[in-house]
């Protein structure tokens, strides 16, 4: 089963379960999801559990651990870690599953639960449906013999494993790294420094209230990083999110790159080293398609979100690279998840094999213009609004190819496209539009946003 059945899910979104503490996600939910996971695993085995730095993640962390223990599953306690740190430790320790309590890139105040399979990749649709069935039908039970817990030094495991994978890739490079006061604070600069890089650390003090910038790394929030790269003449910069998996790059001129641009370069370099399939979601730029055509490599297109990407990587023979336009890059032989530190090392490797200038490498790519906008939409409205959006899109673009696999994607004869879909992690409807013409991209974006706004208005009118 693929994520086309995700409309049956009541708790899980595009990536895990998310919400504000006490509204949508509660300590009781975390406890019962711990029990549900233990039941799913057959009430035996070991689960590694960690949490990010957000104050509201702590009570959920404690309760999911309690639920796991009461289900008869032994808990390995990683405490406060970045998500890639937890997953490297999970693979190393051969745990049966892992749970990460994190709000990831979302605004302060939001947190969530991410569930992982034993291979270090995020839960698939089958696992999520099973967990929800156990949760809602209360098929779990508290075991007579409570399991045991032990602390795990996930940081030490991460350092050892990542240094092994990084090798001498970063040696001699100057990297400006903006951890955003998130869970990669201190760790990223330490590991890259140990590997031989000169690191200029920005927002490197751990603080789950994110006092200096949003935990969502993007052009609007990485101004300080861009300025630092220019002034300190770094080879490039990296901005990561609250739990350390995303890597948004800044080139040597101080320009913040879209995740698809960096992803196209990394995909191209990976395919030069090893031929195979590239896995990317349907909101990815045509740059990815260009690279795959150039290298005669298969491109596997998935629904949006890490679970869908990883599910395809598991199924596709010889997948060598996966990416998400948010800055998540996956090399399956290393980890089935994004890791900002490892992504930085692969960028160094790319630079060492080419011109040495990220700006120059970007200039050699064909130019596509992407517009990304959003409009607020409450979660309970999304499914009904989506039906209106589909209808209006078909009326607005009668001669285009339209797919409703994940939201509604409209593709035109010149390969320009617009995608309208509800966010699976936040209370928004998103509009993506791309074209080789800046003017056309803006026009498509405007048309898409008009459809979203009129659909929301129509929904509101029917509820009066």
CA dist 214 → 22, 107, 417 (Å): 22, 7, 29
Per the structure, the complete domain to which residue 125 belongs is given by 3-152
Percent over 90 (pLDDT), the chain: 89
Q: Note whether 250 and 391 are same-domain residues.
A: no
Q: Note whether 314 and 378 are same-domain residues.
A: no
Catalytic positions, written as ranges: 104
User: At 464, is the pLDDT very low, low, confident or very high (cuts 50, 70, 90)?
Assistant: low
CA angle 13/95/130 to nearest 5° reads 35
The number of distinct structural domains making up the chain is 3
User: At 354, is the pLDDT very low, low, confident or very high (cuts 50, 70, 90)?
Assistant: confident
Q: Note whether 316 and 195 are same-domain residues.
A: yes
Last-in-domain residue among 117, 136, 152: 152
Q: Note whether 27 and 78 are same-domain residues.
A: yes
DSSP state of 23: B
Residues 6+ apart with CB under 8 A from 231: none
Q: Note whether 24 and 130 are same-domain residues.
A: yes
pLDDT higher than threshold 80 for residue 233: yes
Q: Note whether 172 and 274 are same-domain residues.
A: yes
pLDDT higher than threshold 50 for residue 196: yes
pLDDT higher than threshold 80 for residue 234: yes
Phi/psi at 100 (nearest 5 deg)?
A: -115, 125
In this structure, the strands spanning 328-330 and 299-302 are unpaired
pLDDT higher than threshold 50 for residue 4: no
Q: Note whether 294 and 425 are same-domain residues.
A: no
pLDDT higher than threshold 50 for residue 367: yes
Whole-prediction pTM = 0.92
How confident is the prediction for the chain on average, in pLDDT? Answer: 94
- Tokens representing 322? 């996966």
Q: Note whether 257 and 108 are same-domain residues.
A: no
Q: Note whether 66 and 103 are same-domain residues.
A: yes
**Which residue bears the tokens 């789950």?**
208
Phi/psi at 86 (nearest 5 deg)?
A: -60, -45
pLDDT tens, position by position, 139-187? 998 998 889 999 999 999 999 999 999 999 999 999 999 999 999 999 9
pLDDT tens, position by position, 62-86? 999 999 999 999 999 999 999 999 9
pLDDT tens, position by position, 399-416? 999 999 999 999 999 999
Residues 6+ apart with CB under 8 A from 68: 34, 35, 37, 38, 47, 49, 75, 99, 147
């Amino acid at each position: 089963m693929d994520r086309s059945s995700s409309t049956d899910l009541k708790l899980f979104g595009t990536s895990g379960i998310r919400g504000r503490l006490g509204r949508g996600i509660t300590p009781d939910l975390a406890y019962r999801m711990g029990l549900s996971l233990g039941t799913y695993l057959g009430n035996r085995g070991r689960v590694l559990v960690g949490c990010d730095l957000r104050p509201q993640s702590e009570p959920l962390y404690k309760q999911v651990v309690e639920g796991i223990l009461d289900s008869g599953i032994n808990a390995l306690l990683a405490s406060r870690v970045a998500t890639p740190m937890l997953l490297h430790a999970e693979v190393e320790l051969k745990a049966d599953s892992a749970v990460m309590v994190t709000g990831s890139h979302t605004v302060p105040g939001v947190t969530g639960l991410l569930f992982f399979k034993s291979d270090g990749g995020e839960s698939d649709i089958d696992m999520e449906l099973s967990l929800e069935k156990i949760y809602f039908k209360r098929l779990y039970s508290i075991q007579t013999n409570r399991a045991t817990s032990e602390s795990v030094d996930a940081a030490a495991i991460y350092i050892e494993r990542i240094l092994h994978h990084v090798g001498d890739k970063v040696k001699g490079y100057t990297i400006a790294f903006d951890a955003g006061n998130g869970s990669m604070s201190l760790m990223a600069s330490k590991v890259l420094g140990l590997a031989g890089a000169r690191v200029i650390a920005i927002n490197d003090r751990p603080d789950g209230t994110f006092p200096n910038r949003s935990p969502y790394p993007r052009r609007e929030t990485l101004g300080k990083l861009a300025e630092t790269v220019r002034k300190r003449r770094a080879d490039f910069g990296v901005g990561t999110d609250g739990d350390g998996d995303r890597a948004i790059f800044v080139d040597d001129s101080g320009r913040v790159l879209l995740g698809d641009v960096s992803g196209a370069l990394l995909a191209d370099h990976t395919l030069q080293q090893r031929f195979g399939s590239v896995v990317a979601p349907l909101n990815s730029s045509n740059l990815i398609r260009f690279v795959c055509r150039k290298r005669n490599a298969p491109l596997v297109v998935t629904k949006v979100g890490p679970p869908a990407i990883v599910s395809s990587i598991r199924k596709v023979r010889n997948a060598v690279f996966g990416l998400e336009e948010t800055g998540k890059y996956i090399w399956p032989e290393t980890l089935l998840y994004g890791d900002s530190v490892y992504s930085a090392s692969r960028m160094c490797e790319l630079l060492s094999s080419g011109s040495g200038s990220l700006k120059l490498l970007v200039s050699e790519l064909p130019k596509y213009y992407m517009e990304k906008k959003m409009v607020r939409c409450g979660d309970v409205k999304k499914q009904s609004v989506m039906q209106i959006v589909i209808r209006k899109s078909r009326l607005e673009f009668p001669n285009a190819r339209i797919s409703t696999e994940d939201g509604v994607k409209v593709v035109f004869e010149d390969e320009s496209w617009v995608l309208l879909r509800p966010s699976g992690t936040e209370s928004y409807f998103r509009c993506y539009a791309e074209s080789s013409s800046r003017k056309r991209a803006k026009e498509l974006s405007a048309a898409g946003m008009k459809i979203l706004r009129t659909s929301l208005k129509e929904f509101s009118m029917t509820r009066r």
